[in-house]
Structure 1
Amino acid sequence: MSKVKYYYDSETLSYKRIERRKRTTFKYAVMFLLASALFAFLFVFIAGQYVESPKEKALKRELQNMQLQYKILNKKMDDAEAVLADVADRDNNLYRVYFEANPIPEEQRKAGFGGVNRYKDLEGFDNSKLIIQSSKRLDVLQKEIVVQSKSLDEIAKLAAEKEKLLAAIPAIQPVSNEDLSRISSGFGIRTDPFTKAKKMHWGMDFAAPRGTPIYATGDGVVVRADSRASGYGKHIRIDHGFGYETLYGHMYKFNVRRNQKVKRGDLIGFVGSTGRSDGPHVHYEIFKDGKRINPINFYYGSLTAEEYSKMVQHASLENQSLD
């Protein structure tokens, strides 16, 4: 029950009851409601600025987890790009060279996507830049994989058509690792052991004890087995076809004769030091279409990755050759 209020009337010298009008009551009620609503709004606004609701906390955790997942995704894409770049390098400089196929241009492998903005739906968010960047990298990576896959399909087709070529290409060391003392010199400018002058060394020297077996590095026909070439001493030349030819110099003796067909891995002779030689070794050269090329790229059939890496390291030293 509401309290009854009175006021003193000085004219009648008596107390009279205060009668509240309905309009006044309604006015006070509206003011009270407006004040309450304003207070509630201010409370919610201030609390929203400094206090996180359970839903906001959950969304924040979800956002942090998403950012972490994108970072992990980008790291995986870094690794995938590195592996794909290595495959592409081998594809252009090894596989396609073997099969005389034109290398795939870098701009074709790395081509982006022109035309309409395919990432428009990802714009306008707090992390749009991160999401768009990752999406672009993923799209380019997928396209590179498609290009590389088609290239490998082409290589596989060439390989099926050129099985004889694979057998003919020089692909192993002329001296096995078990018998090898060291790789004494590689392809490039080296010091001549007799004149001490810098000159081009057109092959690789495999040092090994006298009498160590020397093997044919690919299928072919022996076109020379004599000592009539200046400097090489007793040497053998094998014509592998497809423009490839190999030379094995400074032999102690032969195990094949001219016009004899040989297979990769056949014993063709023995290490010696005949001709212009500073010690027992086999001087090994590869010719392609009559031009000498670096043999370092032609040992995929007999070496592990670690062995090949060590060979490259030794062959690159600018030391003194043995011939």
Structure 2
Amino acid sequence: MSKVKYYYDSETLSYRKIEKKKGRKLGIFVLSLLGMLLSGFLLLVVYLNLPGVETPREKAMKRELANMELQYTLLNRKMDQAESVLNDLAERDNSLYRVYFEANPIPEEQRKAGFGGINRYKDLEGFNNSNLIVNAHKRLDILTKQIVVQSKSLDEIAQLAEEKEKLLAAIPAIQPVNNEDLTRMASGFGFRTDPFTKALKKHWGMDFTAPRGTPVYASGDGKVTRADNTASGYGNHIRIDHGYGYESLYAHLYKFNVRNGQKVKRGDLIGFVGSTGRSEAPHLHYEVFKDGDRINPINFYYGNLSPKEFAELLKTSQQENQSLD
């Protein structure tokens, strides 16, 4: 049952029914709605401007940003470690490896050169943390380039080491006749008395006296270029080309154990001591050539002589006695 409201009319001295005006409810509703909207807007403004108050989305974004900064910090630390290791390797490469193998050191500016020309990091610019991201990319790119330079350098060192190993194997580095097989070291490199003319003459090799048939060994790796008796004075002789400008000659042999064109290794049996050609007694005449010039073989016996044996051989080779050829 709806309530009917009245009011007292003093003019007529009677009660009159209060009539509801049309649109009143609508006006009240509109005013209420506006009030709520205004109150909500004011509360939102206050909420957004209060210090320390964050929305859930802001909190999530801040967590993501903090995690990203942490990851970039860890990445920079790893790059610091990688740069330190690479710098140590570059130092050893320049001051040790490349010096040992007689290669020019790689300049520092070549190892750590940047990237010129176009801006490689344009797509990373324009953000709040662009500097952090761009710097990380730059360091990583430079580090990658340093690794490539160092890798190529190590490839070169490996190739030089392989060549060095071949060179060391090729150099005539052992005495061609074993010490226990020697009667004596008859004559060394230098001016000696010729056994036939008795005149002082340059002796271009070393004479090792030994019984006929004593084994003769290759003093280094190489290829036999001659095994014949057609050279004047040498009789049966062998020439070995060791490469790198080195050549060795073994003369007055009794017989051969190799043929022309055969590849030999250091220590291989190549022939036997004899007295063929211009020779006074059984012995091996041994010569060493470098770039076509005869050099003193005494400098090439470090491969199978002790320091004491070498000192005795050196002393004997310097005596100005008579050669055997």
**TM-score normalized with structure 1 length:** 0.52
Letter paired with 1:251:
L
Q: Distance in 1 between matches of 2:195 and 2:291?
A: 29
Q: Which residue of 2 aligns with 1:193?
A: 195
Q: Distance in 2 between matches of 1:310 and 1:257?
A: 34
Q: Which residue of 1 aligns with 2:252?
A: 250
1:219 aligns with 2:221: yes
Partner SS for 1:165: helix
Contact 1:159 1:166 in 2 (8 A): no
Partner SS for 1:190: strand
Partner SS for 1:284: strand
Report how many aligned residue pairs link the two structures.
Answer: 175
Q: Which residue of 1 aligns with 2:172?
A: 170
Q: Distance in 2 between matches of 1:314 and 1:237?
A: 25
Q: Which residue of 2 aligns with 1:210?
A: 212
Q: Name which of 263, 276, 301 aligns with 2:278.
A: 276
Partner SS for 1:162: helix
Indicate the RMSD between aligned Cα atoms, in angstroms.
Answer: 2.4
Q: Which residue of 1 aligns with 2:123?
A: none
Where in structure 2 are there 5+ consecutive unaligned residues?
1-98, 104-156
Q: 1:249 to 1:306 in 2, by over 3 A?
A: same
- Cα displacement (A) at 1:250: 0.1
1:275-314 counterparts in 2 under 5 A? 275-314=277-316
Q: 1:184 to 1:100 in 2, by over 3 A?
A: farther
Q: Distance in 1 between matches of 2:237 and 2:292?
A: 18
Q: Which residue of 2 aligns with 1:319?
A: 321
**TM-score normalized with structure 2 length:** 0.51
1:111-190 counterparts in 2 under 5 A? 161-190=163-192
- Cα displacement (A) at 1:302: 0.5
Q: Which of structures 1 and 2 has the bigger CA Rg?
A: 2
Q: Distance in 2 between matches of 1:281 and 1:176?
A: 13
Q: Distance in 1 between matches of 2:102 and 2:235?
A: 33
Q: Distance in 2 between matches of 1:157 and 1:275?
A: 44
Q: Distance in 2 between matches of 1:158 and 1:230?
A: 40
Q: Name which of 263, 267, 270 aligns with 2:269.
A: 267
- Cα displacement (A) at 1:223: 0.2
1:68-89 deviations in whole A, cap 9, x for unaligned? xxxxxxxxxxxxxxxxxxxxxx
Q: Distance in 1 between matches of 2:214 and 2:245?
A: 28
Letter paired with 2:215:
P
Q: Which residue of 2 aligns with 1:150?
A: none
1:228 aligns with 2:239: no
Q: Which residue of 2 aligns with 1:51?
A: none
Q: 1:157 to 1:177 in 2, by over 3 A?
A: farther
Q: Distance in 2 between matches of 1:190 and 1:100?
A: 38
